[in-house]
Structure 1
Amino acid sequence: MSEQDWLANTFETHRKNLQIVAYRMLGSLSEAEDAVQESWLRLSRADARGIENLGGWLTTVVSRVCLDMLRLRKSRREESIEAHLPDSFNSQENISDPEQEAILADSIGVALLVVLDNLKPAERITFVLHDVFAMPFNEIAPIVGKSEAATRQLASRARHRVRGVKATEVDIAHQRKVVQAFLAAAHAGDFDRLVAALDPDVILRDDRQTGSSKVTRGAVALAKQVSGRAQKAAQLALVNGTVGIIAAPQGKLLYVLKFTMSHRKIAEVDLISDPERVRQLDLAVLSN
Structure 2
Amino acid sequence: GGRPWIGGLARSIPPALGAWVAIAAAMPPRRPMPRLPSELVPTGKSRGTAVLLTGCPAATLFPSTQLAAARLLQRAGVRVVVPPGQRCCGALALHLGDAAGARRLARHTTATLAVGPADWVVTTAAGCGALVREYDHLLVDQPRVRELARRTHDALELLADLGLPPPVHPLARSVTVHDPCHLAHGQGVRVAVRSLLATVPGVRLVELEDADVCCGSAGTYNLTQPRMARRLLARKIERIAATGADVVAAANPGCLLQIRAGVITRGLPVTVEHPLDLLAAAHGVEWMR
TM range (shorter): under 0.3
> Given the two structures, how large is their TM-score scaled by the length of structure 2?
0.24
Higher relative contact order (CA 8 A, sep 6+): 2
> Given the two structures, how large is their TM-score scaled by the length of structure 1?
0.24
Which protein is bigger by CA-based radius of gyration? 1
